[in-house]
Structure 1
Amino acid sequence: MKEKKSYTELMKTYQSKENGAIDKVLDMYIEMLWDEALYKHHKLALEKKIDCALDSRDHQEFLVLSKQYKELTAYNF
């Protein structure tokens, strides 16, 4: 036979499940923010390097960097 739990015990169980779900959502949100920050950082760094390659008329470096830039921005929705 099942043991009956008190209202307090039931609420604690419910809250721990709810907090677990909230924690997962917060973790996903933090990961999305982190990914966006890294993406913007890499994009800006590549843009600066591309500008320097253009300024110095380094055609080979420009081609390499522009390929990296294209790959980085290809999946940005």
Structure 2
Amino acid sequence: MHTPDNPALDLKRVLQALLADQHLHANDTLQVLEHAATHPTAHPLEQIAACALEDRRHPGQPLDLDRLCQWLANKVGQPYLR
């Protein structure tokens, strides 16, 4: 359930967190937002992964769905189970 203490996951908040954690550049967020405008029903992590961006903290590694799920699990203190 979404409460003020546990807000829903939305694209802008995820992008802000990825920027703060230095996984993205500001220009990357613009690309994701443009993509999301044409795919508004996709999950925020799917929208980011679909842009095939490079993880800025790990050059040469993609920010694919698996890496994003690992990042999110770590961010909220949950184990990542594939």
Bigger share in helix: 1
The structure having more radius of gyration, on CA atoms, is: 1
Q: Using structure 1 for the length normalisation, give the TM-score.
A: 0.28
